[in-house]
Structure formats: C-alpha cells, structure tokens
Amino acid sequence: MAVIQHVENDHVVRLIRAYREEGDRRAVERIFVTHGKILNHIIRRYSSSSGESYEDLLQVGYVGLIKAVNGYKIDSKAKFSSYAYAMIDGELRHHFRDTALVRKPRWARSLYSRISDATTRLTGELGRPPLIEEIAKEVNVTPEGVIEVMKLFFDTNIASLDSPGGSEGDEEPNLSAIKSLQYEAFSLPIEDRILLEQGMESLSELQRKVVYLFFYKDLSQTEIGKRLGLPQRKVSRIIASSMKSLKERLGRR
C-alpha cells in the first residue's frame, strides 16, 4: 500500500511540475480528476450542515485545491493528498467564517475586528497568546463580553459544522454580558450601541433610510424628501414614528 501511495504521489509531483514549469493546464485538470473523491468527501460533509448548495461549495473547494497545487513543496515528505485535504478544508472554513461575518450585525463585526486586531498586536508584544483579561482591557469590553463575541462568531457556526445533530455550540450568546469596562467621552458604550442597532433593525427599510439621512448625513427634511421622492410632511411623520419606536425599544433595557 505504501509503495502504491508513493507512486501516486510521484505522479502528482510530475503533474505539478508540468503545470508550474510548462504552464500545462491539462496537468491541473488531471490533478482535479484524481483528487475528485477527496473534494467530494469534504464538500458533502459541509453541505449537509451548512445549508449551502453542493455546487456553490464545489467552487470554493476548487479554490482550495488550486492553492494546494500552487503551494505544495515538491521536496516535502508529506503526501500531496494530505496537503490538499488540509487546504480544501481550510478554504471552506474561511468561506463559512467570512459568510458568518457578513450576516452579523454591524456592532458585532466591528467589535470582532477590534478583538482580532488586539489579539494579533498583543501576541506580537507579549510573545505569547494574550489572556482574555488582556484583550478585554485593550478593547474596553468586559472579559465576559469578549467571550460572548467569540462565541457569536465561532461556536454558533464553524464549530457546530463538525458536530452532527448540534452541540454546545448551538447555544445562543448572552448579549447582555457584552458591556464596556469604562465609559469613554464622545463614544457610546457597547451595550447602548447594541440596543441602538437592534432598534434600527426593527424599523422598516424606508424608516432606516430617513433616519440615516437625517441624523448621520445631516440632511434637512426637505432635502430628504427630494432625494427619496417624498413630501416633507411624510418625511416628518416617518422621523417622528421612527423616534417613537426607538425610544420604546431603548426604554425596555
């Protein structure tokens, strides 16, 4: 068996050389064909859990496989099939993580980005992975809040894909635990920002547009009406109803 695997790997290496040195596209196609079972196995494992179509994930898998072709070290002792498996799996995980980021609310994406940046920066400064408390101090969020944000992005998506039938990762994060350590001048505490954005999400699309133009773009009611094709009185009523809805939402905290 070991001899057969060695011969197969030598064959793949020859195909990779042909592609890299001669630009032989047919060599890549042959690699795709010979590693179709690996690609199919990984994609089917994820497609049944993610809800995404097999065809869409297949395109992502192909990207991982071509990265394997480009990144595999010819003199490596590792088999290409093992390397390709890791690259395809990694590409799919990145895809799901990026998709999860897009689907999360703005405050969550922003805070997750700050946590990621702080983790990278502190790792370089400390020469080791930072403690939760160190990250919390850096981003001005309680340690419990940092943990809940990480749960929001990992436990409820990527991790659960490896656990058929669900697991602890299906537990909803406790948003009430996400709070600022201390208040900063001219900046909303994270807990208030969460409430505000949740309130905005409860508004209709037209209400959100009007509120955005009025409060964030500082347009007058007349200017908003012209931009959206609405009479000024209609804009005024929309602003009033939106503010009432937001106050009711914030008042329930």
Q: What is the pLDDT of residues 72-88, one digit of tens each?
A: 888 877 888 888 998 89
Q: How many domains does the chain have?
A: 3
Compute the residue count for the chain: 253
Could you give the CA distance from residue 118 to residue 161 in angstroms, rounded to a whole number? Answer: 27
Residue type, 248: E
Query: Is residue 241 in some structural domain?
Result: yes
Per-residue pLDDT tens digits for 209-233: 998 898 878 899 999 999 999 999 9
Together in a domain, 93 and 151: no
Which residue blocks in 72-230 are alpha helix, DSSP H? 80-103, 106-126, 132-139, 143-150, 158-161, 190-201, 205-211, 221-228
Question: Which pLDDT band, with edges at 50, 70 and 90, does 126 fall under?
Answer: confident
Give the chain's mean pLDDT. 81
Q: Residue range 132-137: average pLDDT?
A: 93
- Host domain of residue 53: 2-103
Res. 49: pLDDT tops 70: no
Could you give the CA distance from residue 197 to residue 177 in angstroms, rounded to a whole number? Answer: 17
pLDDT at 8: 67
What DSSP character marks residue 172?
A: P
CB 96 within 8 A of CB 161: yes
Could you give the CA distance from residue 234 to residue 122 in angstroms, rounded to a whole number? Answer: 51
pLDDT at 134: 94
Question: Which pLDDT band, with edges at 50, 70 and 90, does 250 fall under?
Answer: low
Query: Is residue 140 in some structural domain?
Result: yes
pTM of the model as a whole: 0.47
Together in a domain, 123 and 158: yes
Res. 116: pLDDT tops 80: yes
Question: What DSSP assignment string belongs to 124-142?
Answer: HHHSSPPPHHHHHHHHTS-
Could you give the CA distance from residue 41 to residue 15 in angstroms, rounded to a whole number? Answer: 23
Residue 135 burial class via C-beta count within 10 angstroms: exposed 0-12, middle 13-18, buried 19 and up: buried
Question: Which pLDDT band, with edges at 50, 70 and 90, does 157 fall under?
Answer: very low
At which of 103, 137, 168 does a domain end? 103
Query: Is residue 196 in some structural domain?
Result: no
Res. 235: pLDDT tops 90: yes
Could you give the CA distance from residue 183 to residue 243 in angstroms, rounded to a whole number? Answer: 24
Together in a domain, 41 and 81: yes
CB 239 within 8 A of CB 211: yes
Q: How many CB atoms lie within 10 A of CB 148?
A: 21
Query: Is residue 194 in some structural domain?
Result: no
